[in-house]
Every structure is written in C-alpha cells, then in structure tokens.
Amino acid sequence: MRIDKIRTFLAPEGTHVARIDEVQMVTDDRNGARKEGIKFIFEISSIEHHTRTYMARKVYWEADSKALLHDLEELLGDNIGRIISLGGDILGENLSILINRKCEIVVVHVNNPKHKTPFCKIAMVKKLKSSDA
C-alpha cells in the first residue's frame, strides 16, 4: 500500500531547488476593482519528507510587471518571446512551456500576529545552474 503525500504550502525558509508545477492566469475581483495576474505553483524538490510535499506559490499582479519580466527573463532567456508578445501582452496560451522547468527559489517567512502560521513569500526566482538540473 502507498499513501499520498500531503501538499503543504508551509515551506521552510531558505534557498530551494524547485520545479514549476502549475502556471495560470488569475483574476481578483475583490474590493470592486478587477486585477489580473499570473500564479506560479512550485514543488520544492530539494526537501525530501516521508509524508509531505513542500510547495510554494507566487502571484504576480499587474503592479508586479517589472518583477515578472525579470523572473521570466531569468527562466526563459532568449525564449521570452514565446510568453510575451512584441506589444507586451502575456500569451497565456503559451504559459505551459514553463511547466516542469527547474529553478531556484528563496522562501522567506512573513509573520503576522493575527495568523497562527507565517506567510511563505518567494523573494527570488532564478534559473537553475545547468549542473544542478
């Protein structure tokens, strides 16, 4: 018999090797204003655990376009044109080329006294060095 590991987004702080598990366009209509963004879900592969799979999430909203551009350039290099049109639009139908891409992420914890567990923020996304891939 085999058990399914529990996916947890309470990832330990630090630098981790990860695999992009999911990328999708998202919208947020809260507060009466519609925001569009791109959500990345990472599976942290550098931490092995008997019962858990550590995950991390990063959402880039329109206000984060410089950070998104930096991270996409880091991950895709000269292939960035497959995701961003010459007009600067995200080509949502092509985001799947990022799936399973290995990278390095830095997770930091942001504590809030109103919450029992910290918010796990991804502070950096980098292309994985070829020797680590």
Residue 48 has a pLDDT of 86
| Confidence at residue 107, expressed as pLDDT on a 0 to 100 scale | 96
The whole model's pTM is what? 0.89
Average pLDDT, integer, range 110-124: 91
- What range does the domain containing 14 cover? 6-132
In a domain, 11, yes or no: yes
In a domain, 43, yes or no: yes
- CATH code of the domain covering residue 109: 2.40.50
pLDDT digits (tens, 9 = 90+) for 69-90: 999 999 999 999 999 999 999 9
Mean pLDDT lowest for which of 10-19, 26-35, 62-71, 118-127? Answer: 26-35
In this predicted structure, what is the pLDDT of residue 130? 66
Quote the number of domains for the chain: 1
Could you please report the per-residue DSSP string of the chain? --PPPEEES-PPSEEEEEEEEEEEEEEE-GGG--EEEEEEEEEE-S---SSEEEEEEEEEEGGGHHHHHHHHHHHHGGGGGGTB-TTS-B-GGGGGGGTT-EEEEEEEEE--TTSSS-EEEEEEEEEPPGGG-
For residue 63, pLDDT beyond 60: yes
92 within a domain of the structure (yes/no): yes
How confident is the model at residue 131, as a pLDDT? 47
Mean pLDDT over 41-55 rounds to: 93
Residue 22 lies in a domain: yes
Is residue 85 domain-resident? yes
Asked if pLDDT for residue 9 goes beyond 70, the answer is: yes
Residue 1 belongs to some domain of the structure: no
Whole-number percent of the chain with pLDDT over 70: 97
